[in-house]
Structure 1
Amino acid sequence: MSQPIAVKAVIYDREGRFLLQHRDDAAGIVEPESWGFFGGGVEEGETLAAALERELQEELGCKVGQMEKELFKWDRCPNGILNVCFAVELTASNDNLLLHERKDFAWFHLDELVELPLGSLVYENMSHLLRIASRVGSPADARLEQAILRHGKLRKKNERVFYARETPAILGMQLIMLMKELAEFRGLPVFRVCLHQSDDEGIHEMLMVHTRPVCIGPLKQEKTSLSYHMIDGVADVSLYDDAGACNRTIRVDGAGGFCERFVRLKANAFRSIQTISRHSIFLEVASGPFADNETVWLNEKD
């Protein structure tokens, strides 16, 4: 059986705002009470363009705008559907938009979305919306970052390092993914969120995010403990001797099941972690305190 397909419209205007619908909690609704894109399933014999035009007519009662080229595909939907998403610039009058399905709808600047419960299709693809906003002249990334820092109670050290401002430090998957998408938009391959507030603390808990396949290491620190806990994605953790020979590779997978998900290592042995999937998110826990100059890289050792 072929994978079911849905078409979705990323509707935007010249102010850099996006039109989202508020899902209800009716039976069969995926991610109820979340905000998401308009659109729906493709019927047998329909083209993607015809399906999207029909869905928007059914949901909003008019031709909303001109469908542009395909923006992205996304296959991580909880119901297993492949979503094909198209940008649609608003050409209709707002007065002609009448909600016929779902609970509500509204226009939002991207920074306003941080405080809303979003569908995973939206927050896992925010980089595409940032590119649209940038194209129409809306500097959305800086405002989105400030909203993320406020909501997550984080402080920014630099483009790649953030710290929790208070305890308890609380991060949800939506916020983590929004940070990943912002970093991806800015072309940053990695960043971390330190859940500890100071480098002098005895335990360092760091949310590590690779926005694309990348390898970090081989490296080591003179610490007493180190562990990786994979949250999302797939990575290979490789161990090396002092001569640089790889003597073991452990694959960790956020999907769990038969795959390994957690690994505790000797912190004073050389290791690398290489993301295999499109991205990876994992928790690294290590003994502290820590300074950047304490890291020893295999290719720089004496």
Structure 2
Amino acid sequence: MQKTSEQTHAPLAASQPERGAVAIIVNGAREVLLHLRDDIEGIAWPGYWSLLGGGCDPGETPADAIVRELHEEAGLEVGNLAEAFAVHDEDGSGQMISFFVGYWDGDEQALPLNEGVKLQFFPPHQLSELTIPPYISDGIRRAITDRPT
């Protein structure tokens, strides 16, 4: 039996990577909020400093996911989030990650951290000293340090 084009090609949606979202949150001192991830087996980038965020639930947009993830992980509400770009995390989760940028000038130590080890603001010049997933470092540089003030 000869295959039709419908039989030989998988649907486009099936070939798309899963989606996720992270937030580059900057304070008044232009520092970036980072999240020290748990060092446990089974998660992407264990023990690395990263951005708050996570995967999209079924039917959820990256914009909806980042609002939910910020609240779930750190009780954080950032009303001025703007989607900046998306990057494929080929070496970690395998997801297409949407980067959001927002401003929050609170005390990160007072946030109720529900996932991970620690939250801390860092000035951009210190980021190179930390263990950060390469796509996150590149995303922060692209969104923050490569742009004029």
Instruction: Tell whether the structures are fold-level matches, with TM greater than 0.5.
Output: yes
List alignment gaps of at least 5 residues for structure 1.
136-302
Which segments of structure 1 move beyond 6 Å, counting only runs of 4 or more? none
**Is 1:74–1:84's contact at 8 Å kept on the other side of the alignment?**
yes
Specify which of 56, 73, 90 is matched with residue 86 of structure 2. 73
Q: Quick one: structure 1 residues 17 and 72, their matched pair in 2 at CA, closer, same or farther if it must change by over 3 Å? A: same
How many Å separate the matches in 2 of 1:103 and 1:44?
Answer: 27
**Is 2:101–2:143's contact at 8 Å kept on the other side of the alignment?**
no
How many Å separate the matches in 2 of 1:76 and 1:57?
Answer: 23
Residues 128-177 of structure 1, C-alpha deviations (whole Å, 9 max, x = no match) = 22145x33xxxxxxxxxxxxxxxxxxxxxxxxxxxxxxxxxxxxxxxxxx
Specify which of 60, 65, 70 is matched with residue 51 of structure 1. 65
The secondary structure found in structure 1 opposite 2:60 is coil
- Pairing of 1:108-257 with structure 2 (within 5 A): 108-125=122-139, 126-131=141-146, 134-135=148-149
Residues 220-258 of structure 1, C-alpha deviations (whole Å, 9 max, x = no match) = xxxxxxxxxxxxxxxxxxxxxxxxxxxxxxxxxxxxxxx
Higher RCO (C-alpha under 8 Å, 6+ residues apart) = 2
The secondary structure found in structure 2 opposite 1:124 is helix
**Is 1:8–1:37's contact at 8 Å kept on the other side of the alignment?**
yes
TM-score relative to the length of structure 1 = 0.41
Amino acid aligned to 2:87 = W
Deviation at 1:26, TM superposition (A): 1.3
**Is 1:36–1:121's contact at 8 Å kept on the other side of the alignment?**
no
Residues 56-114 of structure 1, C-alpha deviations (whole Å, 9 max, x = no match) = 0001113134212x2121114313210010101115x3265221101111000011112
1:100 is matched with which residue? 114
Amino acid aligned to 1:3 = P
1:41 is matched with which residue? 55
List alignment gaps of at least 5 residues for structure 2.
1-13
Structure with the largest fraction of strand = 1
The secondary structure found in structure 1 opposite 2:66 is helix
Deviation at 1:39, TM superposition (A): 0.4
The secondary structure found in structure 1 opposite 2:80 is strand
Amino acid aligned to 2:26 = Y
Amino acid aligned to 2:144 = L
Aligned residues: 132
How many Å separate the matches in 1 of 2:132 and 2:74?
Answer: 20
**Is 1:66–1:89's contact at 8 Å kept on the other side of the alignment?**
yes
2:7 is matched with which residue? none
Bigger radius of gyration: 1
RMSD of aligned Cα (Å): 1.8
